[in-house]
Every structure is written in structure tokens, then in C-alpha cells.
Structure 1
């Protein structure tokens, strides 16, 4: 398994909000505890809101308060994303400004949100990887709001390309990794898709309504 895929899987394990020990996650992912510790250090450094320590366990938190402002999750995502974009550009003045702004933000953020300023400037995945999913965001957000089915072309971990009809339910952001939780008609089950692996997304004329077992609430219960 590629390291990027394993990091993504760790996030999926932690998103249930429960405490997971390194040994439990290492056994599930079939890696050593030492490798799992390195992965957790990487996730924390990338800005994923992980709380915990070696020998105790890890869990994801959702603290997003920025004194004297209170940010929504979407606003914090936009701020993080904007800094990431500015830090990647060739303009030295803009890059310097992004670094300086990241330092100022880090100075007032709660420790549980971002461990250090560098977490805003560097992440697990190259920016180009995250950027590949940007083109799909307007279509995905509109479909979630309208409760409209989508047809997507998706590249799986084994590089297999599939065409799927899905019910888009929720988008999330994890340190430059955007994900879409959906009900997949092909698999007859919930699936979490990485946006950077969605090659295309087409809105279909068919709308959907809540059905038992197919909602976001049902997915969270399973976690």
C-alpha cells in the first residue's frame, strides 16, 4: 500500500471520534507500530486535527475557534487552502506574505487545531495532487445541496478506473486532502472518495431522497 493511501485510511479510522491505539491501527493496516507512529507525526504536522500521544492513543478533534473570531469548518478550510495556494506560487513577495500570515494565525490558534506554524505551510500531499480535485468542487457542492445524483469516473487505489453512480452526501477537508462521502449505487454501500482521484463528475437529472441505510447519519452510525 502506498503511504499516501495509508494516511488516507488512518483518517478514515479516526473520523469516528473514538480513541484508537497505535497497535490497533497498525494491526488493521498491517504495518509496524513504528511505521504507524511516523504516519501519525506526519498527519499532525500536516494540520489534521489529531489529538493524542504514543502509548495512549489518537483521535480526531474538531476545535476551530480563532480568537476573537469563531470560524465555521468551511471558513477554516478556505483559510488553510488559501495559504497553501499562496505558499506554492512563484512570486517571492506573495509567498513571504503567506508564510508571515501563517505564523500570525498559528500564534492565536488553539494548540489542538494546529501544532505549529509549519503545519499551515507544508502538508502530506503535494499541492498539485489536491488541485486536481478543485475542478469538481462546484459540481459536487451543488449536487449535495440539490440532492442530485452524480456519475463519476474514479481511479481506485489499485489504479482501476470505474464509472459509478453516487448519491453525494458530504465533503470534508483533511490537510489538503478533500474527500466526498457518498452512497455508491455500484457497490450498494457507502464509500469515501478522494477528490483528487475523481477524473470527472456529471450531474444527472435524477434526484434522491433519504432512504433507510443510505444517509450520512447511517454512515456515521456505522463508524
Structure 2
């Protein structure tokens, strides 16, 4: 095994969030512990966020680390198209992140001279989608961290209500964003239009995945409803 391959294997081993002893990594890769120490030092020096120390163990500090990869021009176009949508149809935090992604791609692409700055795409968000942008950073955080949210919501027939929800997923429909959630008021799944949400705040209460209230349960519920609708005479 070449050293570059071994370095990539080490990253794969420690990226699961658990602590790994150098001895165990060495046994898995059939090299000495001293070699693993040197490899870890090389990875850390190159910017890979590995935490730990000799005799204690190592883990990847950040949840996502992408090793070097080769992308075709069409794959780069697809990536650019996706990032263009994010820059036009998401909140400021995601817009800035999308721009940084494409800046990095532009800096490191080996064939930069053939790549147009826009990659041939222009995306223009609908005004209605932009109305909910102010709530999206909090909703995204609540989905990641399992936070309950209190929202003041105006339904499509203009009825207002205050709900406590467990946000599970956000969806973009080309003109509006929705948030699929478990509604504590209705004791059922609901999809809320983010642009129809007048106020949104964290309750300070967390929630844990519960059977019947997860995103997997919601998607199964939607699929079953679609099947019933298709089979209805």
C-alpha cells in the first residue's frame, strides 16, 4: 500500500467519531505504530482536523472531511448548478457557504481556463421563497440539534395559530420552502410553509427521536398516502 493510500485509509478509520488507538489502526493497516504516529502528524500538518495524542487515541474532530477526488466537467456543472440554486434560494448563511464552495472549486480545478465563471447557469429565486429566509438558520439548527420550535403560523386560508413543532426536514419546491415537522398541537405530521411563518423561536426544550415521530416515519406516511391516492377508484 502506498503512503497516500494509507493516509486516506487512516482518515476513513477515524471519521466515525469514535476514539481509535494507534495500535488498532496499525494492526488494521499492517504497519508499525511508529508509522501511524508519523502519518497522523502528516495529516494534522496538512490541515486534517484529527484530535488526540499518542497513548490516548485519535478521532476526526469535524463530521465531514472530503479526501481529494476527481470530478468530470459534467459533475462540476452539476455541483455549480446546485450551488447556484443555494445562492439564490436559501438564507444568507447558506448562500455564503455555497459561494465559498465554488470559490474553492475554482481555485483547485486543474482545468480552470475551460471553466466559465458561472458554469453556464443563472438561477433567480421567487420573491415568495425569500420571505422565509429569516427563519431558515434557526430551523436548520433545530433540525441538526433536535430543538423544539414555537411558531406563529398563518395557513393558506389565513387562519393563524401558535404551534410547538419538532422540525424534521426542509424542502424547496422551486418557489417556496416548507418545513416538515411533528406538530405537538395536532399530534401528527404537518408541512409548514416557511414564508407563511410570522414568528419562530426556540423553546429551550430538546427532543429525541421517537418511534412514529421521525423523518423516516413521515416519509413512509407520505408514500402510503400517495399509494392510497393512486389506488383510489
TM-score normalised by length of structure 1: 0.50
Q: Which has the higher contact order (CA 8 A, sep 6+)?
A: 1
